[in-house]
Amino acid sequence: MPIASGPNGVFNLRGASAGQAHLGRGGLRFNPVLLSENRTAFFEEIIPHEMAHWLVFHLHNGARLKPHGREWKTVMRDLFGLAPNVTHQFDIQKAQSAPYRYQCDCQFHRFTARRHTLVANGRRYRCRHCAKTLVYRPEVAS
């Protein structure tokens, strides 16, 4: 599958994600709020991260590979000269409306209404740091 041209980029992504690669549709989506607050990091990390997904998809003829697998890591290291980091460390307060407060053993987490509803329907989330299940802790007005 020859690569005719680069992907289209749109800036309509909301929430905590900085970027997404929509491979079959040939486009990359970016979060304009996170871009405006983290301009340098966005150009140095997020855009190459999403471009690596796009390149792997096209270099492997659209084969279904692990999103952050060996091929993606190779593109990140060898082509872009970057550590293959999967997640960003941006402050997402302004980018995400997350009024539901959850707690683990090490910190508080904010959930969107959608994620909060998933928990109410039985879904469980664990902290990436301490691995404890997150528990809803409504804020008490003082």
pLDDT over 90, % of the chain: 57
- Using pLDDT thresholds of 50, 70 and 90, give the confidence band for residue 141: low
CB 42 within 8 A of CB 35: yes
State the residue for tokens 């749109």: 10
Amino acid found at 61: N
Asked whether residue 110 falls in the same domain as residue 75, the answer is no
Q: Among the options 37, 44, 50, 71, which is catalytic?
A: 50
> What distances in angstroms separate CA 63 from CA 6, 57, 59, 134, one per listed residue?
18, 7, 9, 36
- Residue 94 inside a domain? The answer is no
- Residue 75 inside a domain? The answer is yes
Examine the residue annotation and report whether 50 is marked as an active-site residue of this protein.
yes
Asked whether residue 13 falls in the same domain as residue 72, the answer is yes
pLDDT per residue as tens digits for the range 58-110: 888 888 889 999 999 999 999 999 999 998 888 877 776 767 889 999 999 98
pTM for this structure?
0.66
Asked whether residue 67 falls in the same domain as residue 111, the answer is no
Domain hosting 107: range is 100-136
Asked whether residue 20 falls in the same domain as residue 66, the answer is yes
